[in-house]
Structure 1
Amino acid sequence: MSDARFEDGEDQPLRLIAQEGEGLTVLSALLQDAIFPITEMAYAKARRRFALLLNRFRWEDRAAAEAAARRYERVQSLLVFEDVLAVKSTGIDRKDRDTVLSLMSISFAETSEGAGEVTLVLAGDGAIVLTVEALDASLRDTTRPYLAPSGKVPTHQE
């Protein structure tokens, strides 16, 4: 069994931007259940940039995978926020370098004209809050899709 390839389908790597709340909602849906080691997030204060390298479930490919009776896929993606003034986290131990986090959702709350807070909600009651001068987010797939190790669609307990 080999990994999935972009050539196997019509899909192309995602390259999306969000500069308003609606766009961030799209990114949030695509990134639900993305996983990343705590070591793969970085805040470059001087550049005002926060970035995450994560492994996202390919929700956009789910129906095609089911129709073709093939395994589900993940892909490594880079999520970047520009114009970040501050970063806070709650519910996670940033010193535990072995922690793997799971992203549940991303939201934006405007505080003044264009400025606001981006909240990345993590499984297990954790969160990362970015204070931004303006909403400027981008998502870019950086690798080819690979077969999801679990072979299953992520589920959540209510």
Structure 2
Amino acid sequence: MKPLDYIEMKLPAKPEYVGVLRLTLSGIASRMGFSYDAIEDLKIAASEAVTNAVQHAYSNKETGEVEIGFGLYRDRLEVMVTDHGQSFNFQETQSGVGPYKEDSLEFLREGGLGLYLIETLMDEVEIHHEEGVTVFMTKYLEGEQVEIDVKTLST
């Protein structure tokens, strides 16, 4: 299904531009009717995805951009964050994320917690890593996902 509207932006892969993403996302989600809590979840998850790209995609010698796309649908907001830097193996990284142990704190600081937060705060998450990394995140408007699940179960 085609989005009602699609918004795209490119940001320099620098930490000082993460705030621009947060403000843009907040405005879009607010206009769509998301609750305050859902908007905060969206901002945290998208910020984690962009921060991961800023920190890990480009080496110190490289400069790059992070591309962010927003697909606005009647029942949901899809956010796509893409970089064209160094790829990582999501399955390998995800397998290292587990229950908190004191000796795993350093791993969590290095990105494991970011992936965990994104998966916890969003309704659907897909990560593709070909040339760079693309994170697809979906957040449904209140009640929409439940209705979809109920319809699926009753058929």
- TM beyond 0.5: no
More helix as a share of residues: 2
Q: Which has the higher contact order (CA 8 A, sep 6+)?
A: 1
With normalisation by structure 2, the TM-score equals 0.31
More strand as a share of residues: 1
